[in-house]
Structure formats: structure tokens, C-alpha cells
Structure 1
Amino acid sequence: MSSFLCQVLVLNLDPTVTGLLRIDVTTIEGSIWRRRVVGVMGSGRSSYDGLAEPLGVWIARQGFHLLTGGGGGVMAAVGKGFSTVANRKGLVVGVLPCAVDGPRSGTPLGYPDTWVELVIRTHLPLSGVQGLSALSRNHINVLSADVLIALPGGFGTMSEIELASKYDRPCIAFIQDKHQAVNLPEGMPVATSLNDVAAFVLQTTSPD
């Protein structure tokens, strides 16, 4: 919730002088509700449909925006689930890398995926093992989300988890079993059920 204060100039007829306009200043106070953004990170190759698609459905039903890296795998699967929800309020936002070879206005093959509705193009080509670099869009992904959900993935996903800690963004791992938690930072929240993920997200996105 963001508050605002503004002053408006209002033209009124001056009751003391016929035909004369008087300028009055009116102060208006109010607030704007900002729709929360849930970032989902994970493998760009394996989709983990059983985790990603139901998660996308749940995020959409809460009225949140969904933010992904705009590619395949988990990113496409969660976007697919999100997009199946009728009359949803949020959008699928995809933050894209630029092409490594060629003009930076281009994107790699497969970007954006089919489900992205709001495309954010960047000039940042690096990912994967270089996901912590200043030339990686991972910084934008993490900073633009109110809360992050990390599904199984590789070096790129691990770098986003590390950046979430650096930028003080709440982040939870959503995995199929505890064996996938071996490389996660100590103390990071881990969920193996959608209910646990939902509880974490709702707690961290509660109104200020």
C-alpha cells in the first residue's frame, strides 16, 4: 500500500463578484494498492510440471503477478498453469536476457516462452554459472519480486537464491523431496507441498 498527497487547483465562481472565477486549492490524500509480484525461478530445461503448473494456478488465483525469466522449463510450466485461470487479475511477466551473439536488442532462441504476456527486454546476456555477474538479468528478477519461489534448477537458480539473500528478498525452495535440498543455503525455508509454499507467500506478502 502506497500513500500519496497532492494538491488540486479548482476553478469556482466567486459568489461576491458576478462572472469572476476564483481558484481554490484542495488537498487530496489517499492510497494506492500495488499488486504483489511473485517470482518463480527454476530449471530452464526440466519443467517439473507437477510442481510448477499447480503453483502457477495458485499464484493466479491469489491475484498476484507472476515473474519469471521468460524461458522454457520451469518458467514456461508455471506460466502455463497461471494462464489457465479464467478472469485472473495478474499478468505473466518475463524478464529476458539479450542474445550473447549479435545485437543486444535480440533474444536467445526460445525467449520469450509462449505464456509471457508482459515482456521486459534487457541488455544483459549472462546466465547460468555467470548468474551473479552484473551482466546477468538475475539481479532484475530478484529485485523486482516481492517474494521468490525456487524450484529445482542449476547454477542460474542457485545464483538467484544467493541474490535473494543479498537483496533481502524472502525466498523459499519448493522441491519434490528433501534430497533436492542438499545444495541449498543453510537455514533457507524448504517446502515439499504447495500448502507450505502458499503459507510462506501469504505471510510475506501481507499488507504493510
Structure 2
Amino acid sequence: MTEGLFPRERAVIAPGAVHVPGWLPLARQRELVEACREWGRGPVPYRQTVLPDGGVMSVRSLCLGRPWVPYRYLDSVGVELPGWLAALGREALVEAYGEDGGFAPDTALVNFYAPGARMGMHQDREERSGAPVVSLSLGDRCVFRFGNEENRGRPYQDVELASGDLFVFGGASRWVHHGVPRVHPGTAEPALGLAGRLNITLRETGLGR
């Protein structure tokens, strides 16, 4: 998909929240898409998460490293978090902040958005570490809603995330509510070979090894 007449610019959305459009080149995006497919063929395939109230999330997810279930992390590891993916997370922080701060992620959540899937406003509060969250987007464009710490409503900002984009939030923005109210089907670069949207988020749980 073409970018249009004007390139999208790097932006600080809020203190500690940085959007870097097009950070991943297409070749690296394709490698990540294939890795996501391979992980889904493993012992912990993509699944729709059932929430404690009986609701079912519309995205399909898998965890690498320490697994997440609503609303806690488990001690066992089903699929190891690859060292190269953790290293990519550190590269992302250098890009966003100028340093990686000793970032040592021990979990990665991979979410697949098929047509019609969305993510409600929520906080990533199960981690004991205040290290930033690193988010990588692949495939279809989406509206990423970046809100506030106090509630799920306004004020918030809507940011368009496209394939290859990096979004990091930490520091004063680490605990804000965020979500994906809309994905735009068919907007992925055809050469990527992906229908839908993949999102990989890398985090430190702070729960030890």
C-alpha cells in the first residue's frame, strides 16, 4: 500500500509515548509474519481469550515466554521468548528513547485481528515492572486509541498505526488506558502476504525468572 504524498512523521503522543511510523522495513515485517505463523503451529496455538465474566475477546492471541491469562501471569512457559525478539525490543527502545534502559522482556503477547476484531480500552497492569511496553504492528492499518490513566473515556488520542510501525509507551504514560476500536480491512501491503492485523507487544513482568 502506498503512503500518499506526505510521509508520516515520528511523534511524541504523550510524555513517554512515542510513535515511529515505518520503523520495520518490509523484509523484516515478512520475517515477523512468518514467525507469528510458525508460533501458531506450536504447542500453544492462537485462541480467543475467555474473560472472567464469560465474555470472549474478538482477537486471537498467543503468548511467548511467561503466559498471560486474565488478569495474571502464570509461572510455566509454553513457548520460549526468542532472544532475537527480545533484542528487537531493545532496538525499539533505542529508537524511541535513545537508550534501552536495560530492557529485559520476559513475555510477548501476539494478537491477531481478523475482520471485525477490536480491543476494548484497558490498562496493562499485571506487570510489576514499570518498564515500557514495546508494540509492533503488522498488516492492516488500525485506529489505536491512547487514553488516560484515570478512566476508559476521554481525554484520548486516536493514532493510525500501519504495518511496520513502532509504538512505545513508558514513564508517565506506562499505565494509561488504550485499545483498538477499529481495524481497516484490506489496507495491508499485498507483498506482506497477510490478511488482517498482527500486533506484538513485548513487556517485562517483573516477576522473576
Under a length normalisation based on structure 1, what TM-score does the superposition of the two structures give?
0.24
Structure with the higher fraction of residues in strand conformation: 2
- Higher-RCO chain (CA-CA 8 Å, sequence separation at least 6): 2
Higher gyration radius (CA): 1
Under a length normalisation based on structure 2, what TM-score does the superposition of the two structures give?
0.24
